[in-house]
Structure 1
């Protein structure tokens, strides 16, 4: 790409050779923003980031940043970025705008480090204020209603999500070599360098039954490849279905919740059973205990108990006061009747 236009047929064998020739032939050429995005996507791919995360960023760049592709990198100003963020905040939410800002900052920071641009126009832009909302955690009864209306494979998925308190991606990425007789190994990619972090979860009878069923009815006795396999493609991973939980909740007649809410529900249940927050941190695979505290919903329960007590006190004393007011009204009527008789 030169000055926003693609030139093909130059006789170069690889894209790298063509780029080297561009730098040699056009040393003072200003890089277009689209080319910077291509280089950044290639760089994050080389950092061993998850394929799903990289694909999400590619879609975002193509859908929302394409109007800037032909602009030279140094011509994109803070005003362009703020206009985009305001539009996204109005169309979706301020949280989405802040997510976009973080990614745009990363693109320009990469460009500055590599010498592709002179500065980062997004560095001085502050995050938009967001409303802190408590995440909805379904009651255990609602979860069991959803479990009862699910199909056999979906039931085992829900059972494993609840018993392991794992992320849905960790369960769907499970391979049979990760499942032993007494434990399973979950892997999550939460490190800056993109390395997988492993944790060992002991198996309980519910998990063992789920794996026995999946081994017999899904893998057909062959314990190889993914545990949850896509029925449309033999050996492929069971794809995440974002509408699955919504349809199951509608079928069960309960308020809609997602896969990650099951992780919060399991954590709340463990807290009610008296597990320490350090145990929860290790079980959930968190690097910091402050992250685990986000999952603790015992405060909500204690607040509801306190509100219930205040309501009971109010009802108790309101009944007493109403009885007293009735007696006062009766006495007032008696006095009024007596005075009226005397007057007559």
Structure 2
């Protein structure tokens, strides 16, 4: 049935015609927002259903075992629909992109097509696809595609009827390609304060909150005043950084500086939004941020430092805590990691452990002692007398 929704977030609402078959959306079309467009959407749905029914009659499928088996396209649609319901938007986007490249490869390759049965796609085809991704997009992208398809295969074997459960995962049998990992850029603390010095007052407040809370970018951009308790000095941060996309809420203490900043932001609220941080640039003044990617780009260019983003400030905060000698337990809860091993790996990737620096310093100066050349002792008095007599 036609629904009246917006195509994009916060966009204008329009009529959407959609046709479902066997629990799957098989056709969709957007219309305008008027009553006439609603009637057109309903008429299109009815006509599309008739066309699909007639096409199914013309095909006259036979009741064979192959009719009950799944194709690659059906597997992809079922998995992505489940991911869209369960996972965070960024996770779903990654999985959808992985299948997009996979289906495009099947469509462009001879003897392969998206509607082929899953059981006809073996280890050789998987190896050739991952090799193609490596050649076209690099080893990192190939390994990411392998991870997406392996996870989807495991899900299909567990939950989809008609999936070849006795067939081993062809993607899992392919080896990962060696990856070239570039170290993450962490700005020096001096560069952060240079950026802070050239920022407007509201953006200075935003930068201070990122540093004092070691927060993720999205956690502060969607922070509302219901999640800030200035009197009790508590901020509640919400994140979707979990395997299932479940929203996790962590209460964090505010230090004195952060409490002063929050009090100033409350007294100088702008616009009708309930968000703590709003844009201060016209014509979006008073509106909540959507990405804020332009903020750091502009401020870094104005300060004349190497560009870094909001998430780099989180890494900088972790580096400062480690260099100040704080325990792994306190850093873990400051970063809100569920596992201590994540914090351990996080800090080692930054090279931030003070204990490591001290341990390496103990290796210095362990070479054998050097033999210093001393001057020859002066000649004895008798030898001096013999030398004078000889002269």
Report the Cα distance in structure 2 between the residues aligned to 1:142 and 1:246, rounded to whole angstroms.
13
Change (3 A) 1:144 1:192: same
Residue 339 of structure 1 is matched in structure 2 by none
Name the SS for the 2:229 alignment partner: coil
1:271-300 per-residue CA deviation (whole Å, 9 max, x = no partner) reads 233321101111111111111113333347
Tell which has more relative contact order, 1 or 2 (C-alpha 8 A, sep 6+): 1
Name the SS for the 1:201 alignment partner: strand
Change (3 A) 1:78 1:225: farther
**Bigger radius of gyration:** 2
Q: 1:140 aligns with which of 185, 189, 201?
A: 189
Higher relative helix content: 1
Report the Cα distance in structure 2 between the residues aligned to 1:26 and 1:156, rounded to whole angstroms.
68
Structure 1 segments unaligned to the other structure (5+ residues): 328-344
1:63-121 per-residue CA deviation (whole Å, 9 max, x = no partner) reads 55333363323333334433343343344443332222111112222222213431332
Report the Cα distance in structure 1 between the residues aligned to 2:181 and 2:358, rounded to whole angstroms.
19
Residue 331 of structure 2 is matched in structure 1 by 280
Change (3 A) 1:56 1:134: closer
Say if 2:247 is the partner of 1:196: yes
Say if 2:221 is the partner of 1:156: no
Residue 228 of structure 2 is matched in structure 1 by 179
Report the Cα distance in structure 2 between the residues aligned to 1:91 and 1:304, rounded to whole angstroms.
44
Report the Cα distance in structure 1 between the residues aligned to 2:239 and 2:128, rounded to whole angstroms.
35
Say if 2:168 is the partner of 1:117: no
Report the Cα distance in structure 1 between the residues aligned to 2:161 and 2:286, rounded to whole angstroms.
44
Residue 298 of structure 1 is matched in structure 2 by 352
Report the Cα distance in structure 2 between the residues aligned to 1:26 and 1:55, rounded to whole angstroms.
37
Name the SS for the 2:244 alignment partner: coil
Report the Cα distance in structure 1 between the residues aligned to 2:134 and 2:47, rounded to whole angstroms.
44
- Give the TM-score normalised by the residue count of structure 1: 0.72
Change (3 A) 1:276 1:235: same
Residue 82 of structure 1 is matched in structure 2 by 127
Question: Does the Cα contact within 8 Å between 1:34 and 1:68 map onto a contact in 2?
Answer: no
Higher relative strand content: 2
Residue 309 of structure 2 is matched in structure 1 by 258
Question: Does the Cα contact within 8 Å between 1:185 and 1:199 map onto a contact in 2?
Answer: yes
Residue 219 of structure 2 is matched in structure 1 by 170
Q: Number of aligned pairs?
A: 309
Aligned-residue offset at 1:180:
0.9
Question: Does the Cα contact within 8 Å between 1:33 and 1:71 map onto a contact in 2?
Answer: yes
